[in-house]
Structure 1
Amino acid sequence: MTAEKSKHLENSLKDSDDFSEIFDYFLTNFAEQPAFTQQSKKFKSPLIKELVSHTSAQIFNKIPIQITNMLLLNHERFGIIHGAGWVEAKLFNVFYCKRVNKGLLVITTGKSTEMARITPTPTKPAEQLGEDFIESVEDFSKHFKHQFPN
C-alpha cells in the first residue's frame, strides 16, 4: 500500500482491458491490507450508488434494480472510494479512484463474475459540485470496454 501502487492501480484503470487483473491488484495491494480499511472512513456517495445502480441495470438487463446493505469507505490519502453490498441478492464490490475518475464494479452472480469499468462524465463545472468529485451526481455516462464481461 504505497503511492506507487496507487499510481499503478490508477494507470491500470485507465489503460487495461483485463478487469480481473485490475481487481486482483486492488484486492492484493489495498483491500486485503488491514491498514487500508482501518485508515478509510465511512462515506456516503449518491454518485457511486447511482453508478452501481445503472451499471447493474445493464448487467442484469432489469429496471429497477434493488441495492441493499451498501457500505462505502473513503481512503483520503489514496483518493479511493471502496465498498460492497448486494444488488439483486448478488454480492458486489466496487472501487473508484477519484484522481482518474474511473472505477470498477464486480458482481458475483453465482454462475459467473461480471465486471464493468465505471467512468462518470462531468456535466457541471467543478466549482458547482458539493463533494470532492469532479463529476456530477445528477447526470453522467458510463464507458465500458466490455459491456457484459465474463
Structure 2
Amino acid sequence: MDTRQKAPESRRATIARSTRHLALWTGAWLLATALMTFGSLFLWPDNTVLNGLAIVMNLATGWGMILATVRYLKAQDEMERKVFLDAAAVTLGVAVVAGIAFQFYGSLPFAAMKLEIPHLILLMGITFLVTTVAGWRRLR
C-alpha cells in the first residue's frame, strides 16, 4: 500500500484545471442546448420522449456547468473573485431590467421586432464581457 501523499497542487495548476473544467462543462451545455433546440425542430419534431430526454440532458449539463463555475470561483484569489462577482451582479441586474422591458415591449402593437430569450442571452453575454474587462482595467 502506497502511503506517500501527493504534493499539493500549485495555484497556477489549480486555476488551469478549474478553467479547463469550466470550459468543458460550458461546451457540453452549449451542445446540449443546441441538440435540445435543433433536435426538436429537425431530427425528431414530434417525439415527446426524445424532447424530454433532451431537456433532462440540458438541465443536467447546465447543473454541471453551475458546479464547475462554483469550483472555478473557489480557485480564484480575492481580486479575481471580486471582478467575476461584480460582473455577474451587473449582468444579473441588466438581465432583470432588460427582461422586463423586453416583455413589455413585445406586447406593444408597434413593436418593430419580437424580442426573445436569445436576444436577452446575447445582451447578458456582452454585459458580462464588458464589465469583466472594465473590472480588470480598473484594478490594474
State if a TM-score over 0.5 links the two structures.
Answer: no
Greater share of helix residues, 1 or 2?
A: 2
Greater share of strand residues, 1 or 2?
A: 1
TM-score normalized with structure 2 length:
0.31
